[in-house]
Amino acid sequence: MVARRYSVLMSPGPAAESLNPAKRLDANFARHRALTLAHIVPAVFFITFLPFQFANRLRVRFSKLHRWNGRVLVGLGAYVATTALVMSFTMAIGGANETAATALYATLLLIFLYKGFRAARARRIAEHREWMVRAYGVTLGISVTRPIVGAFFAARRLQPEQFFGTAFWLGFTISLLAAEGWLIHTRRATATR
């Protein structure tokens, strides 16, 4: 998705008013090129390197790298969440519904990163892990939102302005619930050992 968005931003097309819904979305992002790039380019690094923080083998064998990478990723995640907040209020396609969803989940990401970082600094490792799993769950929300948006496009019953908010609520809520489910599952597995 980022590669596509980047490609569109580097070669903008005709005016949005005369285009199909997908092209209107592209034109909206092109109108806010600098902000979109400021969000998606660091987000690629954040979402690419974040999973490595959960790899047990890497975390144990290279604990110093885990700590430094974690610090960088917390800063990067905070930056990505902050740009998402700005985007929420300046370029929401789905109006107030989308703004509410994206602003809430960007704020939750900031809170989870902060709490996870504080727990790590205090050496409360189990608590740190849980906050970071939640942060990861919120981060993956955008990936879950994409097929939902695709399904709405495929149905061709609504315009993006009508379904984007709902798609964001569904995508982010599903991914955060999956993260909470994983935490419950892994707590039980640990308790039964």
What is the Cα–Cα distance from 66 to 32, expressed in whole angstroms? 35
DSSP letter (8 states) at residue 11: S
Q: Tell me, what's the pLDDT at 25?
A: 73
Q: Tell me, what's the pLDDT at 9?
A: 63
Q: Tell me, what's the pLDDT at 49?
A: 93
Encoded amino acid at 184, one letter: I
> What is each CA distance from 168 to 49, 96, 164, 186, in whole angstroms?
23, 12, 6, 27
What is the Cα–Cα distance from 173 to 141, expressed in whole angstroms? 7
Q: Tell me, what's the pLDDT at 51?
A: 92
What is the Cα–Cα distance from 18 to 41, expressed in whole angstroms? 29
Indicate the domain borders of the chain.
2-191
pTM for the full predicted model: 0.85
What is the Cα–Cα distance from 21 to 149, expressed in whole angstroms? 12
What is the Cα–Cα distance from 55 to 190, expressed in whole angstroms? 17
Contact criterion met (CB below 8 Å) for 52 and 141:
no
Contact criterion met (CB below 8 Å) for 87 and 103:
no
Q: Tell me, what's the pLDDT at 67?
A: 93
Burial of 29 (0-12, 13-18, 19+ CB in 10 A): buried
Q: Tell me, what's the pLDDT at 110?
A: 98
Residues (pLDDT < 50) of the chain are 16
> What is each CA distance from 179 to 26, 81, 90, 117, 131, in whole angstroms?
31, 18, 29, 18, 10
Contact criterion met (CB below 8 Å) for 83 and 102:
no
The count of other CB atoms within 10 Å of the CB of residue 53 is 19
